[in-house]
Homo-oligomer: A and B are copies of this chain.
Amino acid sequence: MPKNIFPLDSTKSFTEQEKLGHNRWHPDIPPVETLKPGDTFRADCREWFDGAIKNDDSADDIRNAPVSKVHALSGPFAIEGAQPGDLLVVDILDVGPIPQEDEGPLAGQGWGYTGIFPRSNGGSFLVDQFPDAYKAIWDFTGQTATSRHVPGVSFTGIIHPGLMGTAPSAELLKKWNQREAELIATDPNRLPPLALPPEPKDAVLGGLTGEAFAAAAAEGARTAPPRENGGNQDIKNLTKGTRVFYPVFVPGANFSVGDLHFSQGDGEITFCGGIEMGGFIDLRVDLIKGGMDTYGVKENAVFMPGNVDPQYSEWLSFSGTSVTLDGEQRYLDSHLAYQRACLHAINYLTKFGYSAEQAFLLLGAAPIEGRFSGVVDIPNSCATVYLPTAIFDIDIRPSTDGPTQIDPGIGAPKSAD
């Protein structure tokens, strides 16, 4: 309902809009608007790939997705009086797909997508088991998602922004670039890469032009990872009603937002991920002056989730430990343990007729819970993943009757090699 200070035209690309956003983090990107503490506003948000992914039955667009172009962010928005050391308070008043556009070629116009990134283009959480590109298109009916590519499921989306954050200071940006370069240097040719270095190609930097643009494009941080400023945290619980506290690193805070998801499971495990869409977000901003010191919050977001998340009361859950598929014992590796738990869930669902890719896409998109259950029981971490049983048309609980078989339909599209 509040005034839209960052309107987007669905028929135009991200760079042709009336107001220009950005797809790199840099302190020099000038604010596109300035707000007062207490202000509420709406911003439209472009889907993260700016329309490159189509509502069709091919995954070639996922295989070729232009990673150098992401994320198409709305902002930065400056807050009057914000100074380094403050905490920026952001209330998510509402968030959803593109209003009043129920059909069209842009994700967010009544539909969204989940893609499994292939090894050649970023890879996923389970890249070793799923090296190729796959896609699922999800149709929105109100807050409910269904898919012709993953039949027999229907769930209430847990709608949220995947990415919100404040601008880094020059010092912080330098730190990011340095530590990530050091990591990349350990295996520079790895596929998928360990991290993404600054990339001037396809950089969009709002109002910057000329030499300032060139300088910032050369060092602007990529938006893929979450960092001290929040950023691409992909926390599925940042839903309507959530209050988030961000550290402020530059005068004005220079807050940006994007990467809206119609839904997502914990982890966003397919990478291209959740159910991606364009849409809108209504925010209220405020300040806690000096809050970083007062509360000891120097980095990463602190947040209070809203109270209208979809409620499910019955869950089928899988556990995994930090032993590799090859049987190698790793030491307290919760990341691996969650991979194993997710693989268990995927394998289980194939017994009901789903392809492994369909099951993987579903875990990326549906509001599944992923928990650190045990992190100290040497040498094995234990991770768990929880699937709400009510999202399935059939009964997926284990029983003496054995699994009912679904009709997998046309299946999840796979890209040509």
Give the B-binding residues of A (Cβ under 8 A): 1-4, 40, 87, 89, 91-94, 97-102, 110, 122, 124-125, 140-144, 156, 175, 179-180, 182-183, 192-196, 224-227, 232-237, 240-241, 245, 266-271, 273, 282, 284, 288-289, 291, 294-297, 299-321, 323, 327-335, 338, 340-341, 344, 347-348, 350-351, 369-384, 386, 389-390, 397-400, 402-403
Contacts and interface: CB of A to CB of B under 8 A. Distances in A.
Nearest to A102: B1
A305 to B, nearest CB: 6
Contacts of A299: 344
5 contacts: A156-B308, A245-B398, A295-B403, A308-B311, A338-B375
B142 A234 contact: no
A382 B234 contact: yes
Contacts of A110: 1
A342 to B, nearest CB: 9
A99 B97 CA distance: 14
Contacts of A379: 180, 183, 194-195, 225
Contacts of A241: 142-144, 156
B332 A232 contact: no
Nearest to A97: B1
Number of copies: 4
A268 B403 contact: no
A377 B319 contact: no
B310 A373 contact: no
A144 to B, nearest CB: 8
B319 A301 contact: yes
A226 B377 contact: yes
A232 B374 CA distance: 8
Given A305-B317, A308-B310, A226 B271 contact: no
A296 to B, nearest CB: 5
Contacts of A295: 348, 351, 398, 403
A390 B395 CA distance: 12
B226 A382 contact: yes
B300 A318 contact: yes
Given A93-B143, A328-B179, A314 B195 contact: no
Contacts of A235: 319, 373-374, 382, 384
A225 B380 contact: yes
A3 to B, nearest CB: 7
B296 A373 contact: no
A173 to B, nearest CB: 14
Top 5 nearest A-B pairs by Cβ distance? A93-B142, A234-B374, A225-B380, A313-B313, A370-B372
A307 B348 CA distance: 23
A398 B291 contact: yes
A335 B321 CA distance: 12
Nearest to A310: B307
A183 B240 CA distance: 46
Contacts of A312: 307, 313
A328 to B, nearest CB: 6
Contacts of A347: 296
A371 B1 contact: no
Nearest to A309: B308
A372 B374 contact: no
Most buried by B among A40, A226, A383: A226
A226 B374 contact: yes
Contacts of A237: 317, 371, 373, 384, 386
A12 to B, nearest CB: 20
B182 A329 contact: yes
A266 B372 CA distance: 6
A404 to B, nearest CB: 12
Contact of A311 (B266, B307, B380): B307
A226 B319 contact: yes
